[in-house]
Structure 1
Amino acid sequence: MADPLFGWDLTFKTVEKDVKRKADVIVAFIHWNLTKRGFRSIGIGDERTLSGDEERSELLPTGWNDKDNYALRYVFENKLFILHALSTDGNLIINLMRSEDLAVSNIALKIDDTVKEQKGSIDKMIPSHKELIYQVKRDLIDTVTEKSTVTAETQTSRPESSNRRPEDPLRVPGRPGIVSDPPGLCSLFWLPTASPPHIPSLGRSDLDPFAPSGSGGMLYNPFEPRRDIENPGLGIPGGLPRGAVPPGARFDPFGPPGGPMPGARRPAPPDADHLPPPGFNDNMFM
């Protein structure tokens, strides 16, 4: 397993003679974390432009700790990052800014609690170095370097499949005012506007929940206009007595809808749905 502290001793040896205060140790430690993840130093300052010919290095630049506050420039994946560290009231506030969109991450550390010694081994200088490595990676580096996890659907056309199913004659554009489903999905609302010559339109309205009343179908609708609502006793000799069916109550007649009233000669309206198909004979009376 790789040593998580690999490279720290070499980094600190290069700046050990320049360390003046405890905050320098923290900045050197953060610099080491940045270089481990591919950042390269290109000098000091807060200039937010790249010329392209900057010299990139894994070492801290000359004069990195000459001032009380720190401003270091880095390049990562051809993008400019600026590290600021501000010492105030015993705290060190560190910001890492991505210059192209000014995205900023930051952490704040108590200097005396973080750094115990200015020289020596990492265990003596920064006893909590393991926790600090994790905090720098999570809160300072990953926040401004991780690529967005939002995936956008690519708008590329799919090639036509060679084994595409034949076109269904019932799959035609949807009814006006109804949002059609995407191609390839079946929808009960995609109903034919006109039946092909070889397909009769019997039962079409049964599949259409928005079909107008009286449009035909194989299911009996007790509320269609052909039903004699005013004569609920149709089919019973003499009919039902007045008041037997409360107003507005649903009541299915005992006889076929549209049938003649007792003593009337009105013929029943044609209704082919209840008739057997031509040539049908089930021999049920043999």
Structure 2
Amino acid sequence: MAGLELLYTCVASSITSPQDAAVCFIHWEIVKSGYKCLGTGDEPIPGEKKSELLPASWNTNKELYTLRYRSNDDKFNLLLKAITVDSSLIFNLMDSATDKVTDMTVNVSDYVNEASLQSFEGVYKNTEDLVRRMKSSLLPAVKEEKSVRKERKDRFKDSESQPERDPLRIPSRGPPASYTPNWTDPLNPFAAGRADLDPFSGTTEGMIMDPLRAGFPRSGFDPSSGIPGVLPPGAVPPGARFDPFGPIGRHRPGPDPDHLPPPNYDDMFM
């Protein structure tokens, strides 16, 4: 309720009915939502200035109250109308940009003490219930405008953060800027080819393709274990490159009996 007491004190001399007090309360809740009042009537008047106070002659017509508001950032306008029907007030709040209208009907005696119109301490009652009804019925238009502004702001930020997209641009085939090769530089730049000169160095900087140490699957043949009838075990150092100089194994299969015989094989003079 901060600020409402000052407002009510400023207009207390012009409040002559419970409807005036109710409109004053609704006015302050709209101001708290981020708006200021421009004036009365449906049409703007030259020289109007935004203010948290109620304009002059705001309650001249006790049957129809008409107030115009503009947001603090000057982007949205609201039109409030309060119609007196017996002991009730029908509030209509319209967004001038979208023509969206919200409404609320209140029984004035439920929220205003008619006997205490000149005393702020006793004029209002059940204010929490009135505020709750306003937020659920009358002020959704204000909330919707704020959400639209936030959505536009977020959309603008997203468009700035994302790079410009050109559907005709051919994407680069090079590695991305964050790409890091999975190889490491040798500690000694002169170690290239060392494995070719020293097979027992334990390094892999060889220049010659070696299927036994290149990471490819090895066959079951191990030359260091020897070749029966050809090389004794240990004749080939472990890990050394070795090209077999003959077929492994002494017993080779003979010709297949199903092989075709040579021409004229039964000629005795061949």
Normalising by structure 2, we get a TM-score of: 0.51
Q: CA deviation at 1:113?
A: 1.9
Q: Choose from 130, 137, 149 the match for 1:139.
A: 137
8 A contact 2:35–2:69 mirrored in 1: yes
Partner residue, 1:40:
36
Ranked by relative contact order (alpha carbons within 8 Å, sequence separation 6 or more), the top structure is 2
Q: Is the 8 A contact 1:106 1:139 kept in 2?
A: yes
Contact 2:41 2:68 in 1 (8 A): yes
Structure 2 equivalent of residue 121 of structure 1: 120
Count the aligned residue pairs: 158
Question: What is the CA distance between 1:89 and its match in structure 2?
Answer: 2.7
Q: Work out which of the residue numbers 4, 11, 15 in structure 2 matches 1:15.
A: 11
Matched, 1:6 2:6: no
Map residues 1-286 of structure 1 onto 2, 5 A cutoff.
5-47=1-43, 54-68=48-62, 69-76=64-71, 77-78=73-74, 79-117=76-114, 118-122=117-121, 124-144=122-142, 145-148=145-148, 157=165, 162=176
CA contact (8 A) 2:95 2:141 kept: no
**Within 1, Cα distance between the matches of 2:176 and 2:48?**
55
1:104-158 CA-to-partner distances (Å, cap 9, x unmatched) read 1111101122212323234x32210112122223322233334249898979639
Q: Is the 8 A contact 1:42 1:54 kept in 2?
A: yes
1:147 alignment partner, SS class: helix
Rg larger in structure? 2
Distance, in Å, in 2 between the alignment partners of 1:133 and 1:92 is 15
Q: CA deviation at 1:25?
A: 0.4
**Residue 147 to residue 120, structure 1, CA distance change in 2 (3 Å):** same
The alignment's C-alpha RMSD in Å is 2.9
Q: Distance in 1 between matches of 2:7 and 2:61?
A: 21
Letter matched to residue 32 of structure 2: K
Which amino acid counterpart does residue 147 of structure 1 have in structure 2? S
| Matches of 1:74 and 1:132, distance apart in 2 | 20
**In the TM superposition, what is the alpha-carbon distance from 1:164 to its structure 2 partner?**
9.7
Residue 208 of structure 2 aligns with which residue?
A: none
Q: Secondary structure at the match of 2:140?
A: helix
Runs of 4+ in 1 over 4 A off after TM superposition: 148-156, 158-161
TM-score under structure 1 length normalisation = 0.48
Query: Is the 1:50–1:80 Cα contact (8 Å) retained in structure 2?
Result: no
Cα distance in 2 between the residues matched to 1:50 and 1:147 = 29
Q: Which runs of 5+ in 2 are unaligned?
A: 180-270
Tell me the distance in 2 between the aligned counterparts of 1:126 and 1:20.
15
Report how far residue 39 of structure 1 moved. 1.1
Q: Distance in 2 between matches of 1:82 and 1:13?
A: 24
**8 A contact 1:22–1:115 mirrored in 2:** yes
How far apart, CA to CA, are the structure 1 residues paired with 2:70 and 2:6?
21
| Distance in structure 1 (CA, Å) of the matches to 2:56 and 2:129 | 29
Which has the larger share of helix? 2
